[in-house]
């Protein structure tokens, strides 16, 4: 047994992996804190989680400021580069915002006879697992990180057990999640067979060296796409999404709608970009993409996903369910950036994801804040609520306008970049379809605004002003201000996204 050629990770690798290591430690500490408090003192876990997330965030920001080259660590299975740094910040923002906001959410904290601390440490673990998803550069880590996020999601979806809806949604989620990961795994095994390699670079080299059968590669890619589509909820693997969002507590739905989706996109970008597209040698990539007609495949998925999400969202009377379908349509917009696997398209995805995280989390959090008082997410119950909580209403208008993509909100800038990336390569029908879809979106988003501000509440309904916790206002403001500012001052974020993708292509 020769051990000389094996790549042995060293402890110094951890220096590049501090945020993730801190979050794993935070998870264990918060778990222990919960046990010490005998399950009756969620504050211990809450404080540990917030502290850990902030520390990890500080290290992530420091890593971005130091800039620097990509590092492959942990025996070449993990890569920490510009894109990983970008997604780290995104996930920590989402995790921290969710943990802070949930502290005042009745759906989590108001339940008697149940442990409340679990939510906090599971969120921390999920954040760490999502970060690993954005860093995987090997089939094994790809699979393990997706499963880690999946398993934590299944538990969080079934977390509020007093509701039958929640349990059923999580059963559906876990069963279909298991089957989709099984399908993906079959694709991964075929890919391993074709190339004899596990790392993305090795797979790319193997595909370029060997004589690749177009049909086999297409089938393999479709099988793998199936598993990833489930994570990001693209049609036809979207069906779990509305049920799970509606069944799960709203703070859980909030992080589901941004975290795992962004992580899924990160994984897709790294996987397909390194194996099929540019990589080190851009001239060699075209045959692989053309062999399987990748642009048409992605364009069709994107078009169907956005149209389906929007059309079904039109009919929804439950705000949470409406937001679920709207998140499906946003996945469609995001997939447009994938059609050509160009740097511009992928950078546009990153930009859009950052903006989407802000506005979608914001919209869900407003639903949480309202649920605290009116115990409902039905559109009818939102009648006149804008006058009872004017600031909350205003912020909801900001988030919804941004989700629609109206200038001067951040959502407009995000859509602008995605659209131009597609039009640069003459995919006009896709851009036109997306524009039409945005108009449809205007209708159902505005319906919520109309209910909140233009509809009179029913006779005899409660019209006292709502008391919103200061922590909720703070978190919402932190999300709303960038949603506004990024609409006209988007330069820095765009530079960050371009850099992240640029490093990917010149990269290793």
Partner 1 sequence: MEITLSHYLLLAGAVFTTGMVGFVIRRNAIVMLMCVELMLSSTNIVFAAFSRFHGNADGHVFVLMNFAVAAAEAAIGLAILVEIFRRRRTVNVDDFKTLME
Partner 2 sequence: MTAADLIFYALAALTLVPALWVVGSPNIVHAGFNLLLTLLGVAGLFAWLGADFLAVAQLMVYIGGVLVLVLFTVMMTRVPQAREADSGAKRAILPGLFALGVLVVLLLVATGTHWGAPALTDAQPTTAEIGANFMTSYIFPFEYVSLVLLAALIGAAILIREPRGTEEDDEAGAAVETAEEEVQS
List interacting residues with partner 1 (CB under 8 A). 139-140, 143-144, 147, 150-151, 154-155, 158, 161, 164-165, 167-172, 174-175, 178-179, 181-183, 185-186, 188-190, 192-193, 196-198, 243, 246-247
| Binding partner at 243 among partner 2, partner 1, none, C-beta below 5 to 8 Å by kind | partner 1
Query: Can you tell me the distance from the alpha carbon of 233 to that of 176, in angstroms, rounded to the nearest whole number?
Result: 12
The full DSSP string for 226-252 is HHHHHHHT-TTS-THHHHHHHHS-HHH
89 touches 117 (CB < 8 A): no
Q: How far is the CB of 171 from partner 1 (least distance, A)?
A: 5
| Binding partner at 175 among partner 1, partner 2, none, C-beta below 5 to 8 Å by kind | partner 1
In the complex with partner 2, the residue whose CB is nearer, 291 or 485, is 291
Q: How far is CA 44 from the centre of its chain?
A: 28
Whole-Å CA distances, 336 to 306, 333, 420: 10, 5, 10
| Binding partner at 112 among partner 1, partner 2, none, C-beta below 5 to 8 Å by kind | partner 2
In the complex with partner 2, the residue whose CB is nearer, 189 or 376, is 189
In the complex with partner 2, the residue whose CB is nearer, 194 or 442, is 194
In the complex with partner 2, the residue whose CB is nearer, 206 or 408, is 206
In the complex with partner 2, the residue whose CB is nearer, 128 or 335, is 128
In sequence order, what are the residues at sequence separation of 6 or more whose Cβ sits closer than 8 angstroms to the Cβ of residue 296? none
| Binding partner at 183 among partner 1, partner 2, none, C-beta below 5 to 8 Å by kind | partner 1
| Binding partner at 496 among partner 2, partner 1, none, C-beta below 5 to 8 Å by kind | none
Rg of the chain in Å (alpha carbons)? 22
| Binding partner at 132 among partner 1, partner 2, none, C-beta below 5 to 8 Å by kind | partner 2
SS3 content of the chain, % helix, strand, coil (to 5): 75, 0, 20
In the complex with partner 2, the residue whose CB is nearer, 138 or 381, is 138
Pick the closest to residue 441 from 410, 414, 401, 480 (CA basis): 401
Q: How far is the CB of 50 from partner 2 (least distance, A)?
A: 20
| Binding partner at 220 among partner 2, partner 1, none, C-beta below 5 to 8 Å by kind | partner 2
In the complex with partner 1, the residue whose CB is nearer, 158 or 384, is 158
Pick the closest to residue 475 from 170, 162, 96 (CA basis): 96
Q: How far is the CB of 160 from partner 1 (least distance, A)?
A: 12
245 touches 253 (CB < 8 A): yes
Q: How far is the CB of 73 from partner 1 (least distance, A)?
A: 18
88 touches 134 (CB < 8 A): yes
* Secondary element (H or E) of residue 71: strand 71-73
Q: How far is the CB of 3 from partner 2 (least distance, A)?
A: 6
Q: How far is the CB of 37 from partner 2 (least distance, A)?
A: 10
Query: Can you tell me the distance from the alpha carbon of 49 to that of 43, in angstroms, rounded to the nearest whole number?
Result: 10
Query: Can you tell me the distance from the alpha carbon of 448 to that of 452, in angstroms, rounded to the nearest whole number?
Result: 6
In the complex with partner 2, the residue whose CB is nearer, 78 or 422, is 78
In the complex with partner 1, the residue whose CB is nearer, 101 or 159, is 159
In sequence order, what are the residues at sequence separation of 6 or more whose Cβ sits closer than 8 angstroms to the Cβ of residue 235? 229, 301, 304, 305, 308, 309, 328, 332
- Burial class of residue 222, CB neighbours in 10 A (0-12, 13-18, 19+): middle
Q: Which residues bind partner 2 (CB under 8 A)?
A: 1, 3, 6-9, 24, 31, 39-40, 74-78, 112-115, 118, 122, 125, 132, 140-141, 144-145, 147-148, 151-152, 154-155, 158-159, 161-162, 170, 190, 193-194, 196, 206, 210-211, 213, 215-216, 219-220
In sequence order, what are the residues at sequence separation of 6 or more whose Cβ sits closer than 8 angstroms to the Cβ of residue 5? none
Q: How far is the CB of 248 from partner 1 (least distance, A)?
A: 11
Q: How far is the CB of 88 from partner 2 (least distance, A)?
A: 17
In the complex with partner 2, the residue whose CB is nearer, 76 or 168, is 76
Q: How far is the CB of 387 from partner 2 (least distance, A)?
A: 36
| Binding partner at 7 among partner 2, partner 1, none, C-beta below 5 to 8 Å by kind | partner 2
Query: Can you tell me the distance from the alpha carbon of 365 to that of 354, in angstroms, rounded to the nearest whole number?
Result: 17
- Burial class of residue 162, CB neighbours in 10 A (0-12, 13-18, 19+): exposed
SS3 per residue for 321-339: HHHHHHHHHHHHHHHHCCC
| Binding partner at 189 among partner 2, partner 1, none, C-beta below 5 to 8 Å by kind | partner 1
Structure-token pair, residue 395: 């912020």
Structure-token pair, residue 361: 């989390």
Whole-Å CA distances, 362 to 159, 326, 358: 22, 14, 6
| Binding partner at 159 among partner 2, partner 1, none, C-beta below 5 to 8 Å by kind | partner 2
Q: How far is the CB of 388 from partner 2 (least distance, A)?
A: 31
In the complex with partner 1, the residue whose CB is nearer, 25 or 206, is 206
| Binding partner at 442 among partner 2, partner 1, none, C-beta below 5 to 8 Å by kind | none
């Amino acid at each position: 047994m020769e051990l000389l050629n094996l790549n042995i990770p060293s402890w110094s690798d951890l220096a590049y992996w501090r945020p993730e290591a801190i979050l794993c430690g935070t998870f264990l500490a918060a778990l222990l804190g919960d046990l010490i408090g005998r399950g009756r003192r969620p504050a211990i876990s809450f404080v540990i989680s917030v502290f850990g997330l902030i520390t990890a965030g500080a290290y992530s920001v420091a890593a971005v400021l130091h800039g620097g080259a990509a590092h492959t660590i942990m025996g070449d299975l993990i890569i920490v580069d510009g894109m990983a740094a970008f997604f780290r910040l995104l996930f920590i923002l989402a995790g921290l915002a969710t943990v802070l906001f949930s502290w005042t959410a009745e759906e989590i904290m108001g339940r008697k006879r149940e442990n409340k601390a679990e939510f906090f440490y599971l969120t921390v673990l999920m954040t760490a697992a999502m970060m690993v998803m954005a860093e995987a550069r090997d089939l094994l880590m790809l699979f393990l990180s997706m499963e880690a996020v999946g398993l934590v999601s299944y538990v969080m979806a079934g977390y509020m057990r007093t509701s039958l809806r929640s349990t059923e949604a999580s059963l559906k989620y876990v069963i279909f999640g298991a089957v989709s990961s099984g399908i993906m795994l079959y694709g991964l095994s075929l890919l391993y067979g074709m190339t004899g390699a596990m790392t993305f670079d090795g797979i790319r080299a193997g595909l370029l060296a060997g004589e690749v059968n177009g049909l086999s590669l297409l089938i393999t890619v479709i099988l793998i796409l199936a598993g990833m589509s489930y994570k990001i909820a693209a049609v036809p693997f979207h069906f779990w999404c509305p049920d799970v969002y509606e069944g799960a507590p709203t703070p859980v739905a909030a992080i589901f709608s941004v975290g795992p989706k962004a992580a899924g996109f990160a994984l897709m970008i790294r996987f397909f970009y390194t194996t099929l597209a540019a990589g080190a040698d851009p001239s060699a990539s075209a045959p692989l993409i053309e062999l399987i007609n990748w642009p048409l495949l992605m364009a069709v998925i994107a078009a169907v996903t956005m149209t389906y999400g929007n059309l079904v969202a039109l009919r929804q009377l439950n705000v949470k369910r409406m937001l679920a379908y709207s998140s499906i349509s946003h996945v469609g917009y995001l997939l447009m950036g994938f059609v050509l696997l160009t740097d511009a398209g992928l950078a546009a995805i990153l930009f859009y994801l950052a903006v989407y995280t802000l506005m979608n989390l914001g919209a869900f959090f407003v639903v949480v804040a309202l649920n605290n008082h009116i115990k409902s997410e039905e559109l009818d119950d939102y009648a006149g609520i804008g006058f009872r909580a004017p600031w909350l209403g205003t912020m909801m208008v900001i988030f919804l306008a941004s989700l629609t993509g109206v200038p001067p909100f951040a959502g407009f800038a995000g859509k602008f970049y995605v659209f131009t990336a597609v039009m640069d390569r003459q995919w006009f029908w896709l851009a036109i379809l997306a524009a039409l879809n945005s108009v449809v979106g205007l209708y159902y988003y505005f319906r919520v605004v109309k209910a909140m501000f233009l509809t009179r509440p029913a006779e005899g309904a409660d019209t006292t002003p709502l008391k919103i916790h200061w922590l909720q206002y703070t978190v919402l403001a932190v999300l709303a201000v960038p949603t506004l500012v990024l609409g006209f001052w988007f330069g820095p974020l765009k530079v960050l996204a371009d850099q992240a993708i640029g490093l990917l292509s010149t990269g290793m």
